[in-house]
Amino acid sequence: MRKIIRRNIASSFLLGTLLFMSVACDVLEKEPIENLSPESVFSSPQRIEKAVIGIYDDNQNVNFLGGRVLVYADIRGADTDPATYFGGIGLFSPLSNDATVTAAWTGGYRAIYTANLFLQGLEENRSKVPTAALAMQYEAEARFIRALNHWYLVNLFAQPFSFTADGSHLGIPISLKAFDATNAFSPEAQLARSTVAQVYAQIEEDLKFGVQHLPSRKGVAFGEVARATKGAAEALLMRLYLYKRDYAKAIAQADKVAGMGYRLNVAPATAFTDYTTWESIFSVAHNVNDNPNTNSSLGQHYGADHRKDVSVNPYLSLFSENSTDLRITTLTKLAVGKVYTTKYVGNFSWVPVIRYPEVLLSKAEALVKGSNSVEPEAVTLLNTVSARANGTTYQISDFASSQDLLETILLERRRELAFEGHGMFDLLRNKKDIPANGNNKLQPYGSDKTILPIPQIDIQANPKLQQNPGY
């Protein structure tokens, strides 16, 4: 009997412990340690400012504006050796399931998502931003990034504006909404391709909003190149009008930018070592810690001391033999028998989106194209860029026709803006073929393979999405 009592004392003790435990043990209430909820992100002015920074962080997408989109435009241009590293892109042979193409497409829209998500969050929490003007600036920054990504997407995945008279051919889907779990699978999320003209119109609208609300540049602080500014929006609008062949507007835009204090550095190489001079209008900033393990930075792909995926021997042919042009002598390097650009030498190298020389050359080009004459001002602009690099100085008399001058301006563009994401775009918008290059065959202007396939994975899942011909 005593034993039973003793047992019962022991078991009561154990049962009591269990009972206590069932109350005390709360293992379910777990909040993330590594992450914040959307509500907490939009809870204070400081945090909202950080969400703006996040837009730029996602704009650094390794498969897109982290640098690769520039590579894709140039390895499909005329001034690099054919590059095999990037799936079928560099060989004009991608299939619609090409992983590199799919990653580029995904990367561009991924950056757009963050911008759209921010815009939605901002809309609900505008009152938490200290001033209305600052809220408008944030909105303009998000829309700037959205426009920028749409820009590169439409130029990679659709024929250039000039393919039809009014840009009425297929462009890309325009993404203006960040979907969530409740609607990401709905038909609403199945975006169809807008026409190129519609895409241009959307970009134009976003950039114009930027012109109104983005801060003007005052100096050479990090954010004045690495974040969107009024000047950056104006300059991209200039590029858009040039592609659209609206030369008057392009000239007007160029003049606006010129009036904002931008200027060339003394040496062409400076912009690639000092990233925040008045020559750089907008760049995607990088440092080593942004992505230390990347295989996707410009410095890795182009760097003579890195992966060396892209050599640029054909670039030399744009210059005379033994040229002392500074863009040869200070911006290229010979390594293992091949020529490499030194614009990008490490993971820290910034991605130049638009520099002031482009503004000068674009204006020159627009002047000539708009007037079909040998515009003296165009020659002056051309000389400004060329002379800085110790290059040829031209006289008006050097040009027998406006076409001569135009070709010279376009050649200067290739020299000056090489490997900055213009190669293929500049050829196609001027209705030029992509020339044969090494083992790559000539790709006639307007032919199917000059643009990339819409990734199969989206074609299969979205009945509204139309594939490019030939894929």
Partner 1 sequence: MSLALLLMLCSEAWAQGRPISGKVTDAGTGQPLPGVGVAVKGTTSGTFTGHDGSYTLSVPTDGTTLIFRYLGYTTIERSIGSGNTVDVALSADQQQLAEVVVVGYGVQDVKDVTGSITSISAAKIENQPVQSFDQALSGRAAGVQITNTSGIVADGVTVRIRGVGSISNSAQPLYVIDGIPMAQVSNLNSFNGGNGTRYNPLADLNPNDIESIEVLKDAAAAALYGSRAANGVVMVTTKRGKAGTAKVSYDFYSGFSEVANRPNLLDGDDFITIQNEKAANRFGPEDPRSVIAGNVDLDEDGRPDRTDWLDQVFQRGNIQNHQLSMSGGSEKTSYYGSVSYTDQHGVVVSNRLRRGSARLNLDITPKEWLRAGISTSYSKTLNNGVLSNSYLAGVTVAGYNAAPNLPVYNRDGSYYLNDGGYLGDGANKNAQYFLNRFYHPLGTLKLQQNDNTSQRIFGNAYVEIQPIKDLKITSKYGIDYIDNFENQYSDPSIYGLGWSYNGLVQTNNLRRNQWNWSNYATYNVLIGNQHNVSATAGIEYQEVEQFDIGAYAGDFADPFFRDIITGSFAYQPGSDGGKTHNGFDSYFGRLSYDYGNKYYAELALRADAFSGFGINNKRGYFPAGSIGWRISQESFMKQFTFLDDLKLRASYGIVGNSNIADFASRTLYGGGLYVEQNGFSPVQVGNKNLKWETSNKLDIGFDLSVLNNRIGLTFDYFYTDISDLVLNAPVLRTTGIPNASVSTNIGSMYNKGIELALNTVNLEKNGFTWSSSVNFTAIKNEVTSLFNDVPVVHSSGHSEAAVGHGIGEFKLVRWAGVNPDNGFAMFLTKDDVVKQYNPATDKYYLLDGTETSPITGSDAVYAGNPYPKWFGGFDNTFTYKQFDLGVFFQYSGGNKILNQTRAGLMTGYLNNNLVEIKDRWQKPGDVTDVPRLYLQDPQSNRISTRWLEDGDFLRLRQLSLGYNVPSATTQKVGLSSIRLYAQAQNLFVLTKYKGADPEVNTNRDVSIAYGFDNRSVPQARSFTVGVNVGF
Count of positions on this chain that bind partner 1 (CB under 8 A): 98
| Cα–Cα distance measured from residue 211 to residue 310, given in angstroms and rounded to the nearest whole number | 36
Shortest separation between residue 224's beta carbon and partner 1, angstroms: 13
Task: Please report whether residue 54 would count as binding partner 1 according to CB under 8 A.
Answer: yes
Structure tokens at 51: 């969400």
The residue count for the chain: 471
Task: Please report whether residue 17 would count as binding partner 1 according to CB under 8 A.
Answer: yes
408 vs 43, 71, 183, 395, 398, CA distance in Å?
55, 24, 52, 12, 10
Of 102, 141, 98, 103, give the one whose Cα is nearest residue 119.
141
Task: Please report whether residue 124 would count as binding partner 1 according to CB under 8 A.
Answer: no
| Part in contact with partner 1 (CB under 8 A); list of ranges 16-24, 254-262, 361-369, 428-436 | 16-24
Task: Please report whether residue 114 would count as binding partner 1 according to CB under 8 A.
Answer: yes
Shortest separation between residue 101's beta carbon and partner 1, angstroms: 11
Task: Please report whether residue 403 would count as binding partner 1 according to CB under 8 A.
Answer: no
Shortest separation between residue 398's beta carbon and partner 1, angstroms: 38
Task: Please report whether residue 221 would count as binding partner 1 according to CB under 8 A.
Answer: no
Contact positions with partner 1 (CB under 8 A) in 329-348: 335-336, 338
Contact positions with partner 1 (CB under 8 A) in 143-202: 173, 175, 178-181, 184-185, 189-191
Residues 6+ apart with CB under 8 A from 427: 77, 78, 433, 434, 445
Residue among 1, 18, 23, 400 that touches partner 1 (CB under 8 A): 18
Task: Please report whether residue 62 would count as binding partner 1 according to CB under 8 A.
Answer: no
Shortest separation between residue 270's beta carbon and partner 1, angstroms: 19
Q: Which residue has the tokens 């200039």?
A: 238
Cα 322 → chain centroid: 34
Task: Please report whether residue 306 would count as binding partner 1 according to CB under 8 A.
Answer: yes
Task: Please report whether residue 435 would count as binding partner 1 according to CB under 8 A.
Answer: no
Shortest separation between residue 423's beta carbon and partner 1, angstroms: 20
Structure tokens at 429: 């918008």
Interhelix angle 196-213/132-157, rounded to 10 degrees, is 150
| Cα–Cα distance measured from residue 308 to residue 88, given in angstroms and rounded to the nearest whole number | 18
Contact positions with partner 1 (CB under 8 A) in 74-113: 84, 88, 91, 93, 95-97, 99, 102, 105-106, 109-113
Query: What are residue 284's DSSP bridge partners?
Result: 351
Shortest separation between residue 210's beta carbon and partner 1, angstroms: 18
CB 235 within 8 A of CB 257: yes
Shortest separation between residue 280's beta carbon and partner 1, angstroms: 14
CB 230 within 8 A of CB 217: yes
At 419, give phi and psi (nearest 5°): 65, 20
